[in-house]
Amino acid sequence: MRETPLQVWDGRRPRLPRAVVRRREARIGRIGIVAATENLRAATDWCFEEEHHTIVAHLDGRLDRMDCTFSIGPSGRAIPSRGDLWIIPAGCRYAALAQGEHARFVELTIPATMLGDTPIKARVRHRDDFLFGAAARLSDLIERPDDDLARMAAHAIADAVHLHLREHHASRNARAGKRRLSPADLTILAGAIGDQLDTHHSLSSLAALVDMDVRRFTAAFTDGFGLTPWQYILRARLEQATHLLHETDDRVTDIALAVGFATPSHFATTFARHFGVPPSRYRAVQRR
């Protein structure tokens, strides 16, 4: 009998432990650095929700599975390769479920105030050769905490990272003169959609919530959330459906309508395409 695959941590199940093989931490000026290796032979939860920005650079390792979810940003399956960056904005909740052999990576923590509190975009498998090279070099340099030359080089690299982030991940967007959704706008939209999943949300009604015309709204929404408005609404409906299937005895038909699907058959087809099993089977396995 086929089991339903374990899903990304959503706060309802116990968090899976992390098997840390090696970890070193340092602070260079205002930038925090963590260089670590983790054993991933057992499924592992990685979770972030911090007041600072976090950049994770994948150095090496082999992962067979990695599913990730941002509260505001791209979600789905994304297995990292050497050179890939994950960018997790301040205040954004991120969770990933990983399994394979091991992963060696570097985390950089960047205070939001270093970028003038300008929002940055959540990214998955992003390529930025400068940031990756800087992270990899910092990982090497913090292995020599008593070496004066290593400390000087680390501070120079950290200063360059700061300037690069302001130029390419924050300031550029501010100079472009485009209307971006602020953190408050994103919260308003996420709340309006999440609280009214059974409502037909039009682009005009959503755009009106943040005082934006429809022509600019779709691009701003996609830039802010990493998903189009329809993709975001669909994901929110499916996430709520899994919660209701697990926590209530409501009929599948009632759940389909409660989360905004026009018909139970459309719900069942969409659910099975996303999770690999129909809603009734998902409920049965979750409750065993």
Alpha carbons 211 and 208: distance in angstroms, whole number? 5
Report helix, strand or coil for 43: coil
- Band of the pLDDT at 110, cuts 50, 70, 90? very high
Q: Taking a C-beta distance cutoff of 8 angstroms, is the pair 237, 194 a contact?
A: no
Alpha carbons 73 and 223: distance in angstroms, whole number? 8
Task: Detail the DSSP E strand segments found in the chain.
Answer: 19-28, 31-39, 44-48, 53-70, 76-77, 84-88, 94-110, 123-127
Alpha carbons 80 and 84: distance in angstroms, whole number? 6
Over the stretch 166-223, which tens digit does the pLDDT of each residue have? 888 874 544 445 578 888 889 999 999 988 998 888 888 898 899 888 778 888 888 8
- Please give the share of the chain, as a percent, with pLDDT higher than 90: 43
Residue ranges and CATH numbers for the domains of the chain are 19-175 (2.60.120.10), 183-286 (1.10.10.60)
What predicted TM-score, i.e. pTM, was given to this entire model?
0.64
pLDDT of residue 174: 46
Over the stretch 251-280, which tens digit does the pLDDT of each residue have? 999 999 999 988 888 888 888 888 888 898
Structural element, H or E, at residue 194:
helix 183-195
Over the stretch 15-48, which tens digit does the pLDDT of each residue have? 999 999 999 999 998 899 999 999 999 999 999 8
Distances (CA, A) of 143 to 81, 90, 146, 222, 283: 23, 27, 9, 40, 49
- Beta-carbon contacts of 248 under 8 Å, excluding residues fewer than 6 positions away, are 255
Over the stretch 114-158, which tens digit does the pLDDT of each residue have? 887 777 889 999 999 999 999 999 999 999 888 878 888 898 899
Alpha carbons 100 and 46: distance in angstroms, whole number? 14
Q: How many C-beta neighbours within 10 Å does residue 30 have?
A: 13
Task: Supply the mean pLDDT for the chain.
Answer: 87
pLDDT of residue 109: 96
The helix-helix angle for 229-247 and 264-275 (nearest 10°) equals 90
Alpha carbons 212 and 194: distance in angstroms, whole number? 20
Q: Is 58 exposed, middle or buried (0-12, 13-18, 19+ CB in 10 A)?
A: buried
Distances (CA, A) of 255 to 232, 237, 239, 273: 19, 10, 12, 17
Distances (CA, A) of 243 to 154, 187, 247: 46, 21, 6
